Structure 1
């Protein structure tokens, strides 16, 4: 319990920011859903067949898995706040539309007749009679929608929209249940508090209810969204993938840029998402730069003909990646660091000794005993499990899991082979053995900053600052830096700063 409160105290500022982001996107989505669903329900309240069709449409939309919907939106609107807002609005339509329609359509016909007899126009009947009667049912639908939105909004962190989901993702990635618990509990408490507030307002006069709701919705949404990426001012935005290593690198980028030109404002987006999310964000100018890997560029981001494939020379792989990024996307791939964070297959040391495993080919003799835990990305890559099947002529019993979970799974004995990165601190933490890639499946993976060519041309000081890391950081050094963050719980900011000072890239007195 003391660890929980200690972590809460250390991250209270981050938590407050995440709560505001979560409220902002949730309430903004609710406003959008209300603006769409309530007028639509009013219009269709006297058209039963059309209303039934709309109920079916909103029901079908709500059955689409949230991750699938976010994935479908990314090619059109990029990542960040906007696709998350659209997805949440879609999910909130059904309860609001349904309750508004039911509330209006089930009003006693005699009341309608009396209003007509008094000479009320259609609009006056709606404002003075129908909506006040239906309001409790409508507010109940709004309450249901908001609770659902707050819960679903945790997934917004997967596409860089922030919120309490960042704590959950960070907790999973760092194998830190306390962070996950803080994020989950905060989201649950937020839903309970907002739901209780709306329930309280249901018992008040309609005008009081509407005024209070409007004030809270516009106030919170306005404050939060003004701080979000949707309306952020022009600045250098550096993003990193999930994990300690990208987090360390982007903090290095930040300090080097600010040291070179203190007038440049730098904003960090830690744990922003997976490869395709970041690349899409870069294309849509939602971020300025992020650290990418040479092998990933050739395998996942550019179109590479078989005749163009380079050898496994790190220099050739980098030059080909740089060339194709310039030709196909008008992007600049800066000079790489020394270390290679390449893929590997790893097993427990005891398992390796029992089965005399030193290289990947050795797994062929025990295929029937292998229960592998691989990330979805590794399973789907030609330099991952697909390549193992083709080049090594092996197939395993395989489970797909999130990166951090596969280490927990092998440590608990649920799987006995996992994919790993060569600089992962967990290899040391869990006493795992990397199997030699004796058929040379995995290409070189050198890290380097990736940005648009226009950015490099407009901000040459950015290029100069980041190129200071060219040829720096060995594989051993990167593994140790990851260990300091993941195992010894040092902050990525401190680890990055200490390394830069040690390498003479920053002055000691800098924070």
Structure 2
């Protein structure tokens, strides 16, 4: 009887030890997700590499649809992913645009905690926001550097519209409310995927763009400065479920270090390596991570 009791006691102690280890480690892998476009895949992969370096087991859940990824986070299907402050403010919280980056960040941080039990870690300088791209040749011809400059010469410029941009509240209406009427020389609708070819072929001069698109690294294109800040910032930051952060507090230090390394310029260059040079996003992410370790 004593032997049986001793065996049972030993088994109990072993189970307790393993249970303690499981609780300490969180018991499961941390699920790092990305949205379904190049930039988000690269950033999510860098997050995953940083967490693995911190001793955290990671499961990668890539290419989640942008329209469902927030719901996936709040329904415990994923644990963290790269998000944009402007997206959180406008698309998730349905709040009015704010132009100050710190104010946008503080607003989404507070509201996500209240509403979703989700933490925004530090935001990076990388801003993937709305913008306008102009042919460099055209910009140099008229001395155009800012959207204010562009508005003055609109009657000389051919606009490559994307249809909905003409009507969207944050499109032409917002531009005209801030910068004045845009009386283009001509305006024609093109598919978004064709805009850089249209500009390169001298079929148009100006088009809507996002500020970290890889082709902006080409000298023939120039991103105009939004000098009156009509568009809110879309700074990149990790969003993490509180429960996961409590189980793995080391996540914050690892990912905040990564965020400090991202800029609009280097994110644009990383996108170009994938979208223009044809490199794999995993290789690009690893090369970048190794450079900031």
**Bigger radius of gyration among the two:** 1
Q: Note the C-alpha offset of 1:474.
A: 2.5
| Alignment counterpart, residue 178 of structure 2, candidates 378, 388, 391 | 391
Q: Which residue of 2 aligns with 1:359?
A: 146
Contact 1:302 1:328 survives alignment (8 Å) = no
- The root-mean-square deviation of aligned C-alpha atoms, in Å, is 2.8
Q: Note the C-alpha offset of 1:430.
A: 6.1
**1:3-59 deviations in whole A, cap 9, x for unaligned?**
xxxxxxxxxxxxxxxxxxxxxxxxxxxxxxxxxxxxxxxxxxxxxxxxxxxxxxxxx
Q: Which residue of 2 aligns with 1:277?
A: 68
Is 1:316 the counterpart of 2:103? The answer is yes
**1:463-494 deviations in whole A, cap 9, x for unaligned?**
34322213222232222222222222222212
TM (norm. structure 1) is 0.46
Q: Which residue of 1 aligns with 2:46?
A: 252
Is 1:303 the counterpart of 2:94? The answer is yes
Q: Note the C-alpha offset of 1:434.
A: 1.4
Contact 2:32 2:58 survives alignment (8 Å) = no
**1:277-336 deviations in whole A, cap 9, x for unaligned?**
32233233333222111122222221336xxx65x3322221122112222333211111
Partner of 1:286, secondary structure, is: coil
Distance of aligned partners of 1:316 and 1:441 in 2 relative to their CA distance in 1, 3 Å threshold:
same
Higher strand share goes to which structure? 2
* 1:67-466 alignment, distance < 5 Å: 235-262=29-56, 264-270=57-63, 272-274=64-66, 276-304=67-95, 310=98, 312-364=99-151, 365-367=153-155, 369-374=157-162, 382-395=169-182, 397=187, 399=189, 401-402=191-192, 404-429=193-218, 431-466=220-255
Contact 1:258 1:266 survives alignment (8 Å) = no
Distance in 1 (CA, whole Å) between partners of 2:73 and 2:40 is 16
Q: Which residue of 1 aligns with 2:9?
A: none
Contact 1:299 1:383 survives alignment (8 Å) = no
Equivalent pairs counted in the alignment come to 262
Contact 1:237 1:269 survives alignment (8 Å) = no
Is 1:474 the counterpart of 2:268? The answer is no
Distance in 2 (CA, whole Å) between partners of 1:294 and 1:374 is 24
**1:222-265 deviations in whole A, cap 9, x for unaligned?**
xxxxxxxxxxxx75333323432212101101111122225x23
